[in-house]
Homo-oligomer: A and B are copies of this chain.
């Protein structure tokens, strides 16, 4: 199979395609009654846990499979509440239909893992799926695409000289140098990170994979020099259009850093300048002295 063939198959959501590492790592098998089984891959670890966006994408793929018969395979809105850190190994996704409509379906889903002989819930989700291609084409008001330097003037994680965590080998992120100072110990002081994103093996991005992209960057608090892990309490993603092939432009902005929490907004544009996805998460401020 040639690369374009692989791309075309992945592009059309053919889940039998395991030529790309994203497809292998997010593969789930139906075992009936809305239950799907998969394996969380250690290559997607950041810190001591799996990246939340990766686990969301795996769950999002299970939901898409569950709704394939309805033709509702694109996430419109996904709200994920993070309960306990996911770890490499077997994982179960349970999808329960809340409501089927002609244009949209809403489901509740849980992501669980066995731990010490008990089933422990990692993430609980609500989601509305539909078919993005069936939405009317009119764009009445656009969110202007973030201004980024050309990719060759941007900074890859490896350029910082440090040893990147496993997750960073899955991604090809090129940071706008103006927002990459934290990697060299000189944070910008601004709660903003910007850059280009592709999967490392150039697997084309589709609607479900936006759940991964929206949580792929480091916490926006890196820009403020707060370098610790920032656990997400809740993340809601809105996917608004299927991206065209190619790298996407990403902007993270942080706000209301107060009371031990902060809001992080992420926006993703495809190469046509269309805002294809956005998210907001409520996260805990890193407090190194308390962990």
Chain A contacts to B: CB under 8 angstroms: 76-77, 79, 81, 83-84, 98-99, 104, 106, 108, 121, 124-126, 128, 132, 135-143, 191, 224, 233-234, 236, 238, 240-241, 254-263, 274-275, 278, 280, 282, 285
Contact = CB atoms under 8 A, between A and B. Distances in A.
B224 A240 contact: no
Nearest to A279: B280
Given A260-B136, A261-B240, A263-B238, A99 B121 contact: yes
A259 B137 contact: yes
Given A83-B99, A99-B83, A121-B98, A139 B258 contact: yes
A77 B126 contact: no
A140 B258 contact: yes
B77 A98 contact: no
A191 B240 contact: no
A154 to B, nearest CB: 25
A240 B260 contact: no
Contact of A79 (B139, B234, B260): B234
B83 A236 contact: no
Contacts of A137: 259
A79 B143 CA distance: 24
Contact of A256 (B81, B260, B275): B275
A256 B280 contact: no
- Give 7 nearest A-B pairs by CB, closest first: A141-B257, A79-B79, A135-B259, A139-B258, A77-B234, A140-B257, A236-B236
Contact of A261 (B135, B234, B285): B135
Contacts of A140: 224, 257-258, 285
Contact of A282 (B191, B224, B238, B260): B238
Contact of A191 (B81, B141, B254, B261): B141
B108 A83 contact: no
Nearest to A254: B141
A259 B81 contact: no
Contact of A233 (B98, B108, B128): B128
B124 A79 contact: no
A141 B224 contact: yes
